[in-house]
Amino acid sequence: MNFRITSLLFVFALLSVSAFAEAPASTKAVVSSANNSVYSVVYKSDMAGDVKVSILDKNKKLIFTETIANVASFKRPYNFSQLAEGQYTIVIEDKAGKQLEQVNYTATKVESFVRVNKVANAEGKYVLNVMSSGAEGVYVRISNASSVLHEEKIIVDKSFGLIYNLTQIKGNSEITFEVVTDSGKTTVAEF
């Protein structure tokens, strides 16, 4: 009887070691970005294989899932900006097992202040000032009654100022500045 127990324990140990040896070692991590709406999954394994990434809400409801096929490593961003604020679980599964990472998503809203003015004592010159609580894109469109004079998209990080020289514009037409920020603020100034 002792021989039978010893044999069974030996077989169990052998099966455990062989099963463990077949599972490749892998490293899984979730890293948040500076803007807090993007979380990156970083994955590295000794062997290539399929990796399933799933995102669940606080009620364990599946929000998103994808399988990344035949990879040994990757870094993949997941944008939460269209989701409601709250607790989410990112599940990373491969041959070696499953890892769950809890993230607490809070939307970061960029607040901005936009002002367009005529430059004092300088005919045909206008100053644009933008101040924001974070980095964002700003679209500037300058037009008169007959055409678009200038369009550009700029990236503002905290503060930005620029003087536009429109002295070459002929005629006595009204100038309109339309400034739209990525956060949704629209400012229209007419001169």
89 with 40, same domain: the answer is: yes
Segment (H or E) for 67: strand 62-79
Long-range contacts of 56-65 (CB under 8 A, 24+ apart): 56/88, 56/89, 56/91, 57/86, 57/87, 57/88, 58/86, 58/87, 58/88, 60/89, 63/88
The residue segments making up the domain with residue 116 are 112-190
Does 118 lie in the same domain as 101? no
User: Is 143 domain-assigned?
Assistant: yes
Report pLDDT for 4: 43
Count up the domains in the chain and report the number.
2
Alpha carbons 41 and 83: distance in angstroms, whole number: 18
pLDDT in tens, the chain (191 residues): 444 443 433 344 444 443 444 555 777 777 776 567 888 999 999 899 999 999 999 999 999 999 999 999 999 999 988 899 899 999 999 998 999 999 988 877 778 899 999 999 998 899 999 998 888 899 999 999 888 999 999 999 889 999 999 988 876 678 999 999 988 889 999 98
**Listed residues 54, 86, 105: the one ending a domain:** 105
The CATH number given to whatever domain includes residue 78 is 2.60.40.3080
Residues 93 and 120 in one domain: no
In a domain, 161, yes or no: yes
Q: What is the b/e burial string over 109-141, where b = at least 16 CB atoms within 10 angstroms of the residue's CB?
A: ebebebebeeeeeeeeebebebebebebebebb
pLDDT of residue 17: 40
Query: Which of 58, 76, 105 corresponds to the end of one domain?
Result: 105
Domain end: 46, 80, 105, which one? 105
